[in-house]
Every structure is written in structure tokens, then in C-alpha cells.
Structure 1
């Protein structure tokens, strides 16, 4: 009887240990895995969040870049990490909206992650080379008159920037030739060199070209105008189906204790309330989001529902 009682007490103690650890979370530095190289929009957002969250968590928050394979390498690293909240992912729309919808086999699935917080939403900028019309109506007229001879850059048929391009082209009833690249940098180089007519890129890349005067943003694919470019319209002002935004958000491995998830969410929410951080993100073309883990889970489900038929259609064309 005594032995059974001791074993029962020990079992109860072992079951309670994760809860106790979660309540004391974090007990060491937290690492945000970024599945992109340093310097991009995802990396910038992650480093801003790390800086804002560290004082609130009482531990350093580090950023570790693990790029490659359309964000798969970094995402898999977090999916396989110890589910204690000390290793988390700064995911993008590519990671958990588009990749799970593609026919290619993934080493992870959406269920391998626990949402923490939706950090930002990012519209895309439609940037044209110098010498082309700098307002939407005139550009559309030119494209229609060229009957498909103008071209644009994308990161592949089922990339988020191409989803934005397809929405704009179909909404404006114009045809352009898609030229595929492996990233934004070479697209920008070719646009500035005059071999590309237009590109559809994230805010920081588009704003850099626009501010340099070597390219011009003619429109955004967001829901509302950016405060940093209030004079530039959204394509959604011409048609609601042209709203296309990617996103950045923090997630932990599945089975991470809820106490750790809530602590991370509270720190992220406080960080996002900082005027300095919000202004810096807006200057990068990102709209601050926030909300609860449940809000983020609902958003992910809505994104998958919206893009599933579009991705299936474009993936079919790719094959």
C-alpha cells in the first residue's frame, strides 16, 4: 500500500512539473526562428518584436535566421523543437497559408504549431519602372493597348506576390507576361535596369524603390492607405477582390503549455502597443495587428479558406 501511494504521489508530481515550469516561464532566453535571410521584412519585424518583448519577459529574446526551401527549413526546426515556449517561429503567409495548400509534400503541417499572436499584415506594392505611367488608370490603358507584351516579376506562380499580381491583373482586366525570379532583389535590379516593366513586392522593397526615385509605386493591395504614402491609392478602391495581404505572426510548437503561450502573447501585445515600434513597422509598410491566440487561429483558418481555390488553380497551371 505504501509503495502504491509513493508511486501515485510521484506520478502526480511529474505531471505537475510542466505546469509549474510554464508558470515560471521563461527560464532562459527565448529564440525567434526567422525562416528568411537577415535584412528582409520578416527579419526586421522579428528583431523589433524581440527588442520589445525581452524586457517584458525578463529574459533575452534572440533571433536566429534559418532560411531556405520557401521557409520550410525554419518552420520544420520549430515544429520539431521542445514544446516549452523557448523556441518560437516568426512565420509568414508563405509558411502557414500557402505552403500547406500546395501539392508538394511538407515535413510539417499547420497542426504542428500553436498560434501566439498575429503581428502584422502587409499589403503589396505595384511598382513600375521609370518612363511608364505613374497612376493606375493610365497604366491600365497602356497595358490594355500593349495586349500582353508588358511583363512583371514574381517569385513563382503560387507565391504571395503573384497572388497579388493575379488579383490586380484580373481585377483590372489586363494581361501581362510573368517573369519568375527567386526573390525580390533581382526583380528590383531588373526593374531599375529597365528590363522589367513592373513588380509586385512587399512594402519595404517597394518603398525603397519609390523613395529612391528609380521606380514608382502606382498602387497598394491593402485595405487602407499607408500613412507613409497617403497619396498612393489601393487597388481595393477600384474593386474589393483586389485586397491581397501577407502576414507575419508568432507561433510555438504544438503542445506548448497554455501558460507559456499566454505569457508570450501578453509580452507581444505590450510590445505592439509601443508607439515607437508601431511607427517603425508602419515605415516598413506593415500594419500592426495583435489580438489573442484564438484570434490568430481564426485568421489562419480564414486565410486557408480564401486562398485554397486560387492556389489550386495556379498550381494546376504550374503543372
Structure 2
């Protein structure tokens, strides 16, 4: 099965072994389950994986351990899982970078989307825009300021091809902005420059944005999710002022393709229960992350929509690595 993004067809993720309803017999892990995180410890993907792993372990009757394999825009970790035994004991905590963006811009990826079977959509992560003092601190005021100062207002992101760079490019195109993007190797450096006043704004994940805002030296003026975060009801979204302007990355668990359906079903049940746990949901929200859940089929449908959403923009930007 394939799905098409403009002129480019991408294979659908390996969902052939997926639904809970189709599980034919019980399956339980016979040893600890490993979740590979293709990022260093401490970031949003890692935090999410550890929260979910902690809750999944008692439900599976086995330890669930985190293995950080960062590097090469998440390629190292993803390739390791794609090549792992399809026995239910190795999972990938993917972000949007790994299976939405990379397949669209990577020229020689060592993995393909169909190398993975979706297990559960864990969460979505809207980006937030934060500004330094001296820059208009409302969303509409900021947009007007950028338009009045073409090419002069700077915004930071995690490098060309990163998800927040692409989200910023969407905002730029949709709102007809001429703002100067500045790439960084991570959140910490751009956060420091924003607080030092040498960078006007940043477009980052919630945890970084909230840390900046709590410092009192910068202010979050808007989010890129569909709706306001329930724990931050006073902070608006772009979509409120500019309908349809939504840009979120995501986190989800995937297994190697050909993992038995009964293993996928059991892992999905544990993962979905973890995302529905009230404590997990609250702790994720404190990081600006919104728990998701659902079936493997739900996750597959979400992935298809995301690829279709970003494909046309990425072709126009002509970003490759």
C-alpha cells in the first residue's frame, strides 16, 4: 500500500500487523523491552519516552528501558530499530523528524517508512514563539512588527531541515513575513542568545519556551497547536488569528516491520493506557506536550495526514540532507 504526496509516493508504514481486534493469541514480552530514543537524554522526546516507559512496565510485566542513540538527524537510532528483530522487544520513540520530515528530504536514508509498524501515537508537541523585551509581546503585534521591518527581525531554530525550522518556514510563507532565520545546533544556544538580547525571537518546543518564559526575561506570545494548552489558557494559538495555521511535531512508538500482530496489540494496549494516565498527561502538559493515544490504525492515519501536510512545502523549500 502506498500514499501519495504530490508527485512523490511514499510507502505506507508497515501496519499490516496491527490492530488489537485482530490479535489471535496472547503475547507477553519474555525479557525487558527497549525503547530507542534517537535524541540525547533530557530533551522532549527523551522525557516523553521515560514517562511512558515507566507506566508501561507494570502493564507488560517487564522492565521498559530507554536506549539513547542520538545523531545524524535521528537516523542512527531509527536505523537501529529498523534492523532489530521484529519480536516486540525493541521499539522506536519517533518524533516528527524521523518519519515525517526525513523521508521527504533525506536523499539516502538507510531506512524506509515501511520498515516500521505503528504501535501508538503517544503525543503531539506544538511549538511556541517567544520574544525578548523590546519586541511586541502579542502575536498580532509581533506579526505587524516583522512586516514593518522586513529582513531585520531574527528568529532562532534548530538548523535547516529541523522541524521547528520547517514550522517557521510555514509561518513565513503563510503570513508573508520577511524575517531572518538563524540556525542553531540545539535549544540551549538560541535560548541564551534570546535572553542576552542578541536574538529577537525563537520558535521552539514547549519545554524550552516555558523555561525561557519562567526566567522572566522573555515572553511566549503564541503556540502552533490547533487549540490552547489547557494548563496555559491565556496563551493564544496562531490558528485563532490565522485559521488553519497549525504546525506540530509528534511522538509515537513504532516497532520493526513484521512484528507479530499479537505483540503490536499488547504493546498498543500498554502504550495507550500510559498516555491516558492522569499523572502522565499532567507531567507531559507541564512540558508543553499533549498526550494522544488511540489504535495503531489511528496512528497510521495521522502519519499519512502529516506527510501530506508537509510534502508540498518541503518541495517548495527544496531542503535535502
Name the CA shift for 1:82/1:134 in 2 (closer, same or farther; >3 Å): same
What is the distance in 1 between the residues matched to 2:280 and 2:211? 19
Contact 1:164–1:242, Cα closer than 8 Å, also in 2: no
**Alignment match of 2:184 (pick from 181, 193, 203):** 181
**Alignment match of 2:78 (pick from 75, 80, 105):** 75
| 1:237 and 2:236 correspond | no
Work out the number of aligned pairs and report it: 299
Deviation string, structure 1 residues 209-249 (Cα, Å, up to 9, x no partner)? 01111211110000000122211100001122320000000
**Alignment match of 1:219 (pick from 216, 222, 226):** 222
What is the distance in 1 between the residues matched to 2:139 and 2:270? 41
1:155: how far off?
2.0
1:61: how far off?
0.4
Alignment partner, residue 261 of structure 1? 264
Q: Which moved more, 1:100-109 or 1:32-41?
A: 100-109
TM-score (norm 1): 0.90
**Alignment match of 1:136 (pick from 135, 139, 144):** 139
Alignment partner, residue 7 of structure 1? none
| 1:149 and 2:148 correspond | no
Alignment partner, residue 251 of structure 2? 248
Which consecutive unaligned segments of at least 5 residues does structure 1 have? 1-19
Aligned ranges for residues 1-319 of structure 1 at < 5 Å? 23-315=26-318
What is the distance in 1 between the residues matched to 2:106 and 2:267? 33
Contact 1:143–1:150, Cα closer than 8 Å, also in 2: yes
Alignment partner, residue 14 of structure 1? none
Deviation string, structure 1 residues 1-56 (Cα, Å, up to 9, x no partner)? xxxxxxxxxxxxxxxxxxx9x83420100010000000000000000000000000
What is the distance in 1 between the residues matched to 2:310 and 2:173? 15
Structure richer in helix, relative to its length: 1
Contact 1:158–1:314, Cα closer than 8 Å, also in 2: no
Deviation string, structure 1 residues 145-185 (Cα, Å, up to 9, x no partner)? 21221111122332210222122223333210111111211
What is the distance in 2 between the residues matched to 1:123 and 1:279? 16
When Rg is computed on C-alpha atoms for both structures, the one with the higher figure is: 1
Name the CA shift for 1:193/1:304 in 2 (closer, same or farther; >3 Å): same
Relative contact order, higher structure (CA 8 A, sep 6+): 2
Alignment partner, residue 9 of structure 1? none
